Amino acid sequence: MSLLNTGVTALRTAQLGLATTQHNISNANTEGYSRQSIMQAVNVPMMTGAGSIGMGVHVATVVRSYSAVLQNQVNSAQTKASELDTYYGMISRIDNLLADSTSGISPTLAGFFQGVQDVAANPSLISARQSMVSSAQALVTRFQTLEKRLAELHEETNGRIRDTVGLINSYSKQIALLNDKIVALSAAGQHMPNDLLDQRDQMVLELNKLVRVSTVQDSQGAINVFAGMGQQLVVGTQSVPLEVRPSARDPERYVVAQQGSVAELPEDYLDGGELGGLLSFRNQALDQAANALGQVAASLALTVNAQQALGQDLLGNVAGQAGFVSRFFEITPPKAVENTMNSGTGSITSFTFNPPQQSASGNFYTQLTGSDYEVRFTAGGNFTVRRLSDDAIVASGSEGSSVSFDGLTLALSTGHAAGDTYLLQPTREIARNITVNQEIAGDVRRIAAAAPVRSVPGSANTGTAILSQGEVAPGYNLALIDLPPVAPDTQPGLKLVIEDDGLGGLQINGSFPGAPIAYTGATTLNFGGFTFSLSAGARENDVFFIQPNVNGVADARNIVKIGALQTANTMNGDASAGKSTFQVSYAQLVSDIGTKTKTALVDGKAQNTVLEQALAARDGVSGVNLDEEAANLIKYQQAYQAAARMMNTASVLFDALLSIGR
C-alpha cells in the first residue's frame, strides 16, 4: 500500500503541475497575469524499525511569481507616462492653434495695421477707411475664433475630468469587491487566491493610468488605496467615491471632491495619470493661453481707443461733441466671480480697466499682466488682492473703498464676512467679446484720423521759428483755443505773440494759462492738455495762432499715432513705460506654449522608455515564457507517466501477493 500511495501522490502532484502549466499557457497574453508554479513538499514519512520510509509528495501551495517592488515601479512609471501623454495630447492642440501661420493672430494683426497705414497715406479716401474697418473686423473675428476653440477645449477638459473620475470610482469599487473576495478566501484556508490578486494588481495599475495611487495592505490581505496626496479611494472592502462638480470659486470650472463633502480637493492634490494631466493642462496651459490672448485683445482695444479719443473724424467731430465716437473697439468689463460659499452680504460694486498710460515717447500702454487674482477678506472688512501667477499681494484695503493694481480698479461694498473671496479674471473673456464699434463700422468717416488742433504762423512774421502742429492729451480743453478772430487778425484761435520781456529778452504771451513764458530758443508750451513746440528763430512781434483743425480732412496725424502702436511697447508696462509690443507678447505666448509642448513630448518619450523598462523587469519575473512552460509540460508529463508506471508496478506486486494464497 505504501508503494501505491506514494505513486498516487506523485500522480496528483504531476497532475497539478500540468494543470498549473496549462493555466500559465492559456493566460500568457492576459494583462496583469503573473506566472504561477506549484510548491512541492515531502509527505510525513512512515517510521519503521528499519527507519523512516518516505510517503511521497504533496503540493503545499500554488504561488505566483510576483515582486511588489517591480510592480510598484511599473505603477509609478505608468501614472507619470499617462499624465504626460494626456498633457501632450491636449497642449499640442493649443500649440497647433496659436502657432499656425494662417490661423494665428499675427497675420490678421499685421493686416489691421496695414489698413491703418492705408488710411494714414490717404485719410480722405473712404475706400481706405473701409479697408481698415474690414481688416479690424477680420482681426476681431480671429480673436473670437481662437477664444472659441480655447473655450471648447475648456469644456472638453471639464467633460474628460468628469469621465475620468467616473472610471476612478468604477475601479475603486471593483478593487473593494476584490478585497472582499480575497479576504474571505484567505480566511477560509491557508492559500492565497492568486488570480484574484493579479486582477486586483491590474486594477491598481489601471487606476494609476487615471490618477497616481498608493496602496497599503492590511493584516487580512485587503489593500487600502489612496489617490494623490492621500485621498482615500478604497478602505478595506469599502470604496470612497469621488464626484465632479462646479467649483464654488468659479462655476465654469469643474473640480473634484469626495462625494458628500463640502470641501473641494485642491487641484495639486490629485496628480499623475489622465486626471493629473488634465488638471495640469488646464492650470499651466489652457488658462494661460486664454488669459494671454485676452490680454493682447484688451491692450489693443484700450490703446487704440485711447488714441482714437484724441483725434478728429472726417466729419470734424472731436472728443466731447455729440457726434464723436471715442472707441474704435468694444470690449466687455473685466470678469469677477463671487464665491458661492461667501457668507457676507457685500459685493463688488465695480471692476474696470484703468485708462492706458502714456510713456515719455507719447505712446499709450497698459499694465495688464494676464494673470488671475483672488480677493480675500479677513476680520474687520479688510481684504487683500493676490496675483495668482506669482502669489504676490498687489493691493489691500477695507470694504467700502477701491484699490488700483496692474491696470485695474476694484471697488467693494460693505457687508463682507471674514473668509469671503472673489476670483478676478480680467482678461479671460476679452478675446471672446471684442468687436468693432458698430457706429464706426456703419460710418467709416467716424475714424479719427486727424488731430483736433493745428497751428498757423502770422503772415507778417519776420523770424524763422516754426510752431509745431501740436499734440493733445486726454482731457484737453478745446475751449481754450476755439476762439473767434479778433480784428485786425483774420485767423481764429488762440494768438501767441513774441514780445520783449523788458529784461532784454523775449517772451511768449497770449491768453493761455501760465502766460507769459520766457522764450530762449526752442521752447515747449504745455497748457490745457495741449503741447506745442516753438523752434528757435522767432523775432519780436511774430505771431502764431493755435486753432481747432477745421476742415482737416487731409490730416493723418492721429491715425499715424494709431499705426505707431504696432511697433510701440504697449503691453506689460510699469509706472513709466510698456515693455513689449502686441506681436512680441503674442509671440511670447506662442513660444511658451511651444516650449511646454516640446518639453511634454520629450519627457513623455523618456517616461515611456522608463515604463517599457519597468514592464520588462516585471515581466522578467512575472511574465509567462512559453518555451519554459513547454519544457514544464514535458517535465510534468514524464512525471505523470512515471507515477502511473509506479502505480502499475504496485498493482502487479499486489496481484502477485494475492496469487500466493490460492
As a whole number of angstroms, the distance between CA 344 and CA 414 comes to 9
In a domain, 584, yes or no: no
Residues whose CB is less than 8 angstroms from the CB of residue 171 and which lie 6 or more positions away in sequence, other chains included: 203, 206, 207, 210
Note whether residue 474 is domain-resident: yes
DSSP state of 361: T
Q: Print the domain residue range for 647.
A: 2-65+623-660
Cα separation, 630 vs 639, in Å, equals 14
Domain's final residue, options 548, 572, 590: 548
Determine, yes or no, domain membership for 130. no
- Name the nearest CA neighbour of 544 among 515, 509, 576, 589: 509
Per residue in 623-647, pLDDT tens?
999 999 899 889 888 888 887 888 7
Where a domain ends, among 505, 527, 548?
Answer: 548
Rounded (5°) CA angle 340-345-349: 90
Q: How confident is the model at residue 662 (pLDDT cuts 50, 70, 90)?
A: low
Pick the last residue of a domain from 532, 548, 564: 548
Write the pLDDT tens digit of every residue in 562-614.
999 999 999 999 999 999 999 999 999 999 999 999 999 999 999 999 999 99
Of the spans 203-207, 500-504, 631-635, which averages the highest pLDDT? 203-207
pLDDT in tens, 86-113: 999 999 999 999 988 787 899 999 999 9
- In the numeric block, which cell numbers belong to residue 582? 502686441
The mean pLDDT of the chain is 93
In a domain? residue 293 = no
Domain presence at residue 139: no
The answer as to whether 7 is a domain residue is yes
Q: Please report the pLDDT score of residue 525 as a whole number.
A: 95
Residue 387 has pLDDT above 70, yes or no: yes
Residue-wise pLDDT for 33-62, tens only, equals 999 998 888 888 888 777 777 788 888 888
Classify residue 541: in a domain, yes or no: yes
Nearest Cα to Cα of residue 427 among 302, 297, 247: 297
Total structural domains in the chain? 2
Report yes or no on 255 lying in a domain.
no
Per-residue pLDDT at 57: 86
Q: What is the DSSP string of 250-300?
A: -TTSEEEEETT-SSPPPGGGS-SHHHHHHHHHIIIIIHHHHHHHHHHHHHH
As a whole number of Å, the end-to-end CA separation of the chain is 21
Residue range 237-258: mean pLDDT, rounded: 94
pTM score of the predicted model: 0.90
